[in-house]
Chains A and B, each alone.
Chain A
Amino acid sequence: MRKIKEYLIEKLLFSSALITIAVTFGIIGVLGFEAIIFFSEVSILEFFTDTQWTPLFADKHFGILPLLTGTLLTSFIAISVALPIGLSIGIYLSEYAPKSFRKTVKPLLELLAAVPTVVYGFFALIVVTPFLQGFIPNLSGFNSLSAGIVMGIMIIPFISSLSEDALHAVPDALREASFGMGATKLQTAFKVVVPAASSGIIVSIILAISRAIGETMIVAIAAGQQPRFTLDPTVPVETITAYIVQVSLGDVQHGSIEYRTIFAAGITLFVVTFLLNTISYRIRKKYQQRYE
């Protein structure tokens, strides 16, 4: 009886794993299949060099660059906000804060990542943009600046939490060695602990970038929906994700070239995040056994 139960549970677990893998490959398969059809009609060269993205207009251009720069610009702004704040929090929690404080603040911070992104989107549109317009009069109602800043706030816990883990994992023996030579807490934190945890910190940054690049709601609501090849943070732009939402919700015809642009954009996004994840995996792998 017990043996049968064990057997069934094992099979159940195995099939869930199998299903997950199958679904993943299914998604990649569909993405790849539709993208191949797309690229049989639009040359890859045009896709990567044309600076206009107008598949829904009469004069069609299929250059991914405006969407890519929109994505990278908002993510760059987000990381510029999240990195200094997140890392400072991580260092403070790991090196300075009392244990009890750390234990309560860390989960609270992680709540930031649990707020529905649609709330962040409206926050950016309704609060942050009008506020910033007080300083930057020519700031458009939709812009990558406020979307990026708010997205940065959202991804702070990715950096603060994961880098805190990495800093905390640095053996006390190294801190003692540093203190023992007359180093202050600050010197020890920045000259010994942070460098020793650098691989973990880099991984946390990459994951945060990944998250920012894949973020959809905030940018769709607050950054606008105008594909524009620009690095100006005050004007409306469109990101890859926002474009996918826009077209998916619209009424393009199934099987048309307009419809397939979703998959071309989607696979671009997939490749970027896949690369980032691979890099972070490699870094983690390489430094994992450092302190064993």
Chain B
Amino acid sequence: MEITMEKTLDQKVVVNTIEAIDTSKPSKIEVKDVNVWYGDFQAIKGIDMEIKPNTVTAFIGPSGCGKSTFLRLFNRMNDYIDSHRMEGKIKINGKNIYKKKVNVEELRKEIGMVFQKPNPFPKSIFENVAYGLKIQGIKDKKFIEERVEKALKQADLWEEVKDKLKKSALALSGGQQQRLCIARTLAVEPSIILMDEPTSALDPISTSKIENLIFELKKKYTIIIVTHNMQQASRISDYTAFFYIGELIEYGKTKKIFTNPEKKRTENYITGRFG
């Protein structure tokens, strides 16, 4: 009995990554010897790393060192770039997401992404947050409404928008738009959230709101955040990875990296001697 159950589950797993990633448990990410090229140019050079569940991991490094490229590997966002080529393995809860059979759409429902510039859809606030549910074919109005409210509350935006859910999302301020994009991601209840410099286009007040938010979210999600702001990395992250020209130079507890880095390059970058 037990055995057959497992077998059928296993078979499903191959077809459908949503089950491959066990959402009841926080997700662990393993990166094994990953290399990335854009045409002839190698942007990521032999990276190995492991990202722990329910932590905030910050990716830092000078501009152009490959942080975005690396981050976008986790939800296969680079698939759309023609010249892009990737080698190596990225395992999420033990399953390699670069296997041929992986359903990329299902994968992305588990791994949300927040972008550098707020990119709400030119739709109403409500429709923005409901989008992910609707494309999954969910029709239950009440369910969608509840999820939208919950996501907006989680993103600390509910109080500001609850009376104008039908208004265009484009009428919101930049900081509100970014929190809306976070709510939009949360509404589908992913287990991992990728953020690519989510506050670089925002004012200090909006930035601190989002930092507080990240702090709250890590209780339930695994968060990876690219940032060029050293203070931000040290404030919000548990682990920090320092990249330099496509290589992972140093990776460890944020406290350690910022107070007592092992590599000279890391120290130079953190103390602002280059970058």
Least distance between A202 CB and chain B CB atoms (Å): 14
Are B122 and A196 in contact, with the CB atoms below 8 A?
A: yes
**CB proximity of A165 to chain B, nearest CB, Å:** 17
Q: Which of B68-95 contact A (CB under 8 A)?
A: 75, 77, 80
A46 at the interface (CB under 8 A from B): no
Residue of A nearest to B119 (CB): A173
Least CB distance from A94 to B in Å reads: 14
The stretch that binds A, out of B33-41, B48-56, B129-137, B203-211, is: B129-137
Inter-chain contact B119/A182, CB cutoff 8 Å: no
Whether B105 pairs with A174 at a CB distance below 8 angstroms is no
A179 to B107, CA, bound (A): 11
Given A173-B115, A176-B77, A290-B170, are A181 and B132 also a contact pair (CB < 8 Å)?
yes
Interface 1/0 per residue, A192-224 and B, CB below 8 Å: 100110000000000000000000000000000
Given contact pairs A173-B117, A176-B115, A182 touches B132 in the complex (Cβ within 8 A) = yes
CA distance A124 to B20 in the complex (A): 59
Q: Annotate B95-120 by CB proximity to A: 1 below 8 A, 0 otherwise.
A: 00000000001111100110101011
Partner of A179, one of B80, B170, B184, B185: B80
Residues from chain A with Cβ under 8 Å of B107 in the complex: 182
Q: What B residues does A173 contact at CB under 8 A?
A: 115, 117, 119
Cβ of A182 and Cβ of B108 under 8 Å apart?
yes
Q: Is the CB of B105 within 8 A of A177?
A: no
Question: Within 8 Å of chain B (Cβ to Cβ): is A138?
Answer: no
Other-chain contact of B119, A177, A184, A195 (Cβ < 8 Å): A177
- Secondary structure at the A interface, as helix, strand, loop or mixed, is helix
Find the A residue at minimum CB distance from B187: A181
**In the bound complex, how far is the Cα of B136 from the Cα of A184, in angstroms?**
10
Report the bound CA distance from A141 to B80 in whole Å: 52
User: Are B117 and A181 closer than 8 Å at their CB atoms?
Assistant: no
Cα A3 to Cα B113 in complex, Å, equals 59
Q: Is A116 an interface residue, CB under 8 A from the partner?
A: no
Which residues of A sit under 8 angstroms from B115, Cβ to Cβ?
A: 173, 176-177, 180
Q: Which of B112, B121, B184, B188 has the most CB of A within 10 A?
A: B121
Q: Is the CB of A180 within 8 A of B135?
A: no
Any A CB within 8 A of the CB of B256: no
On whether the beta carbons of B131 and A178 are closer than 8 Å, the reply is yes
Please give, as numbers and ranges, the residues of chain A lying within 8 Å of B122 by CB-CB distance: 174, 195-196, 290
| B134 CB contacts on chain A under 8 angstroms | 191
Q: Are B121 and A182 in contact (CB under 8 A)?
A: no
Determine how close the nearest CB of chain B comes to the CB of A96; give it in whole angstroms: 12
Q: Are B121 and A181 in contact, CB atoms less than 8 angstroms apart?
A: no
Interface residue? B166 (CB, 8 A): no
A286 to chain B minimum Cβ distance, whole angstroms, is: 13
Distance in angstroms from B2 CB to nearest chain A CB is: 32
Knowing A173-B117, A173-B119, the reply to whether A191 touches B109 (Cβ < 8 A) is no
Complex contacts, B132 vs chain A, CB 8 Å? 181-182
Residue B181 at the A interface, CB < 8 A? yes
Known A171-B119, A173-B115, A173-B119; judge A180-B136 contact (CB<8 A): no
Is B109 touching A181 in the complex (CB atoms < 8 A)?
yes
> A262-287: which residues lie under 8 A (CB-CB) from chain B?
none
* A183 cross-chain contacts in B, Cβ below 8 A: 105, 131, 135
A182 and B136 contacting across the interface, CB-CB below 8 Å: yes
CB distance from A84 to the nearest CB of B (A): 23
Beyond known contacts A174-B122, A179-B77, A180-B113: 16 more, CB 8 A cutoff: A171-B119, A177-B120, A179-B80, A180-B77, A180-B108, A180-B115, A180-B185, A181-B135, A182-B105, A182-B107, A182-B108, A182-B188, A187-B135, A195-B122, A195-B123, A196-B122
What is the interface of chain A, defined by CB distance below 8 A to chain B?
A: 171, 173-174, 176-184, 187, 191-192, 195-196, 290
Query: 9 A–B contact pairs at CB < 8 A?
Result: A173-B117, A174-B122, A177-B115, A181-B131, A181-B184, A182-B135, A187-B135, A191-B134, A290-B122
8 nearest CB pairs, A to B: A182-B109, A173-B119, A182-B108, A180-B113, A181-B132, A182-B105, A177-B119, A183-B135
Residues on B facing A (Cβ under 8 Å): 75, 77, 80, 105-109, 112-113, 115, 117, 119-123, 131-132, 134-136, 170, 181, 184-185, 188
